[in-house]
Structure 1
Amino acid sequence: MAPRILLDATAVPADRGALGRYVDGLLRALHELGADLAVACQRADEERYGELAPRARIVKGPAALAHRASRLSWEQSGLPYVARQVGADVIHLPTYMIPIQANRPTVVTIHDVTLFAEPEVHDPVRTTFVKSATRTAARRATRLIVPSRATRDELVRVLDADPGHIDVAYHGVDHEAFHRPSEEETKRVSDRLGLHGRPYIAYLGALEPRKNVPNLIRGWVRACEDRPDPPALVLAGSGGWDDEVDAALATVPLGLRVVRPGYLAWTSLPGFFGGALAVALPSTGEGFGLPVLEAMSCGAPVLTTRRGPLPEVGGEAVAYTEPDAAAIGAALERLMDDPDRRRTLADAAYARSQGFSWTASAEAHLASYEQAVAQYPAG
């Protein structure tokens, strides 16, 4: 008999972000596979999850979980209560938090452990708390799910986690949402950005040090400063705390244009990615690299690094660079000067992206849930 799964979606932020895309994609695929589901969520998400998984039991969590104290209270007391209420056989926590007294199997997704290897590139306010919570989850969860082999290996290295209790489940991509855009879609996004058909290099993500945005800016300047018609640089996504970004922007010559549109709606992303001359995501640390996969699914030529799991995602279908400004600039120049290579990369990226699906991810998750139930309480 299939286990009843309680998925705790209360940590999904209002702007959804990568965590929201993970939970949404996974939940829909689990539902389509016939999983016995209950979902705990914030009240604002009740309708959304009811539509994604109509047969699931949706349980409204607390009205507000913005403060750490309320979050801890929910995880340690509220969630175990809900688990008893719905008769859950296993609890899945898609972040690093875990109830100490769950009294049933727990599966925790650890998205990345870069804050252990490179704490200086993470928000110092959160680092201590997140590291402590991750250690606790790694020690107490019945099973751990990670989105890449690189993250699994790093988890074993830095936390001495038992590799026999770690399951790799690659993220998927919503191929309907992230698709090769029409000319109308790319034109609409270009006009909204104020570019009106001008070529641009696209970046999407938070402005955090590990995303390497300052070196992207400096590399783009190197590649473009002597060009008669240089592409713009569009830095889209949520804010961050990388103080070097403003310093790098201050060095941009007057003849070059940087656009900072902030958050872009999901419906704009195919036009944004697919309409770009190239998508540059030169991160120095990831757990998976979901924007790389999403850009590939939109048929964009992608430039990234060989750090961590990014080669697992991009394979030979993306261009690679070292993370320093000079290397990024040289790589961008090669892409700008070679339209045939950009087309080849775009086609290869799109083809490779089709091998990633939320269905395959959900199947790996189901296997982990079943293993957690089978080994509990021995683990």
Structure 2
Amino acid sequence: MESTPPPPPSVLNDNCSASYMTPYATVIAMSGLYLIVIFFFCKKSKKMCIPMSDSMYPHQKRLKQLERELKNYLIDEESIEVDDYQIGQTSDGFIFRGGVFPKTRNRFNAKVTTAVKISFPIVGKSISLLEDALRLSKLDHPNLIRLLAVSQLSFSVFRPMIALEWLPGGTLADYFIYKIREKEDSDRSPIQLKDMLSILYQVSQALKYIHSQLDEFGQELTHGRILTRNVLITEPDLKKCEVKLGDFGEAPSGLEYTTPIVAYMPPEILCCAERIPPHRPENDVWMFGVFIWECLTLGAQPHFRKSVEDIKKSFRLPDRGLSCPPTCPLDVWTLVIDCLSDPHVRPRFASTTNASITTRLSELHHIVSPALFLYPIPNQSVCTCIEHHCQSIPQY
């Protein structure tokens, strides 16, 4: 019987390869690929369906860098709740009361009440808000507002959203308005100078910490927004409340005359010919001096209804246009004038000498008599224009 010769190797390989190309294998491979595509689309569908504004493309590189550096704070947008109640507004956006839900929800880890800041629909403001969040993420001090979370969609939509620490006492500006200036004398709680010095000391501690830090260029970090509306309190009792400084970010340029912050700007910024003059630590010292005056008057508006030219003329006066409150001791007023002096002679927060602002406030707090009280000083206007109906009438 003749034996059949074995097939050549090429025929064997063709038969083996053909055996794997069955319809069943094709269906299984295509089904697996389809499931992978569906899974990827479900995971990324929200980002894929949101159109990207053309004005955001120049900032894509910086946005990716910010997203990497803030990755520990990123949460889904469903985990951030925003109430209808608006509690404030800053140069970057609106602030609402809201909350942050933990990633794993149960009855033991309920929603955390926060302040939620949403940027204006402007690309520059959106980037500024994310830069603000990055600065806060790198700072840790008991007298500074903490960053809690950043929405994941902040890097793919037009308006970023961040969650900040919530203080139930509100801002110091609201305290002056609603707890002091809008109340009758009989209903108003007396404010001791000693308690106000404690508030000022806590704010100076926060600024001392900020000025001891360095930015990405190796320069001293600054705040640039030292106002009563940016100082938050834990409760409306100045004797035992804690204070935290918020709204950390870039200071506005000297040409932004429409904002109320003009009254706090130092001469080297307000009178500068540059469009965006650099903000330095000594500029914070001037703003802190105006802040002290605002606290000593219990909420009077500095340079009330003055034009920019009037404010510039006030810089030539000995008191810089901010008169000394009647009950202010000479030692406290000397500190205010020192903060409002020329840039090269102003005291510092982070100085190791006895002349630092923090040290002087601590000493004043210990030597000031508890019998010294502060009283609200009315806003004095030099404006006599008909359209404002000012007529130099003091206004609370």
TM-score by length of 2: 0.26
Higher helix share: 1
Q: Which has the greater radius of gyration?
A: 2
- Structure of greater relative contact order (alpha carbons < 8 Å, 6+ residues apart): 1
